[in-house]
Amino acid sequence: MATRADAGEVGALLHRFNTEFGDPSPGAKTLTRRVAELIQRGDPSIFLLAGPRDIGVAVVRFREALFGDGLTGYLEELYVVSDRRREGHGRELMETAMRLARERGATTMELGTAIEDTAARGLFERLGFSNLEKRGDPSSQMLFYERSL
Amino acid sequence: MATRADAGEVGALLHRFNTEFGDPSPGAKTLTRRVAELIQRGDPSIFLLAGPRDIGVAVVRFREALFGDGLTGYLEELYVVSDRRREGHGRELMETAMRLARERGATTMELGTAIEDTAARGLFERLGFSNLEKRGDPSSQMLFYERSL
C-alpha cells in the first residue's frame, strides 16, 4: 500500500498508463501532487504498488454503500507496465485490493473497462466480477457511461 | 433536493425501484434509515426528488477526482414510477443533478446502465453521456463490472 512517500511512483505509473493508451494526462508531476494530496487529506482511497518498483499500480476509491451498511469500493485504475504483463502482477494487485477493501468494510466492488480489453476482462471474470445485471443473461450486460460536466 | 425530512420518500421510491426490477431490497424502512443517516452525517451525496410527490428519485455520489482537482460525480440511481414515465421527469432529474454536481465542483459524471434499458440509454445519450472510450469507435464500448466482496 502506497504511503505519501510513494506518491511519486504512483504518479509516474498513472502517467505511463494514460500515455500508453493515448489518454490525456496532466503529467507525472501533477499526478504525484494529486496523489500526495489525497493521501495527506485522509481521502478513503487505497493506492497499491506491485513491488519492488515500477511494475504496476491499482487505485481503489470508496463511498458509503446505499443499500446496506459498509462501503462500496470502486476500482478506478489498474495498470501493469507492458514488459511485466502475464506475470501475475494484475491478479496480485486485484487480490490485495479486494482483501484490503473487505478489511475496510466494503461489501461490493465495481469497475469499468473497455469491451476490447480482453486481457483485463478475462482477469476480472476469473476473479468473479460480472457485467451482467441478471446472472447468466447476456442481454442484461451493464454499460459504463460518462460525460464531462 | 431532499433533506433529512424527505428521507422517507426517497427510501420508498428506492424500494419501489428495486421491487419493480426484481432486485433484492432491504425494504423501504431500512432504506429510509440509511438515506437519513447519510444526509445527517454530511455524506457528500445529492438525493433529488421529482415533485410534487412519489414521482421519481435520483442519487448522485461524489469522490475527489484523481486526474484533476474537483470532484467526480457518480449517478447511482435514477427512477421514475411507471405511470409517470415519458413526461420528462427523468430528463429534469438528470439536468438538475448535473447542474448541482457542477455547482459542487464536479467536472465529470459517470453511471452504469443495462444494455437492454434503451429508454434510459437514449436519455443519457441525448444528454451527452457516452459509453465509448474513444469517441466514435464502437469497439471501445465500456462495460460496467461488479462483484460482492
**Contacting residues of B for A103, CB less than 8 Å apart:** none
Check whether domain B4-108 has CATH 3.40.630.30, yes or no: yes
B113 vs B131: CA distance, rounded Å: 10
Q: Is the pLDDT assigned to residue A93 strictly greater than 90?
A: yes
Q: Is the pLDDT assigned to residue A102 strictly greater than 90?
A: yes
Q: What is the pLDDT of residues A107-122, one digit of tens each?
A: 999 999 999 999 999 9
Say whether B149 and A116 touch across the interface (CB within 8 A). no
pTM of the model: 0.95
DSSP string, B90-130: HHHHHHHHHHHHHHHTEEEEEEEEETT-HHHHHHHHHTT-B
Burial readout A39-61 (b: 16 or more C-beta within 10 A, e: otherwise):
beeeebbbbbbbeeeebbbbbbb
Q: What is the pLDDT of residues B3-51, one digit of tens each?
A: 999 999 999 999 999 999 888 899 999 999 999 999 999 999 999 999 8
Q: What is the pLDDT of residues B79-100, one digit of tens each?
A: 999 999 999 999 999 999 999 9
pLDDT for B47: 98
Q: Is the pLDDT assigned to residue B134 strictly greater than 90?
A: no
Mean pLDDT estimate for chain A:
96
**Contacting residues of A for B67, CB less than 8 Å apart:** 14, 18, 25-26, 31, 34
Determine what percent of chain A is predicted with pLDDT higher than 70: 100
pLDDT for A117: 93
Domain limits, chain A: 4-108
Q: Please name the member of A38, A73, A149 whose beta carbon is closest to the beta carbon of B108.
A: A149
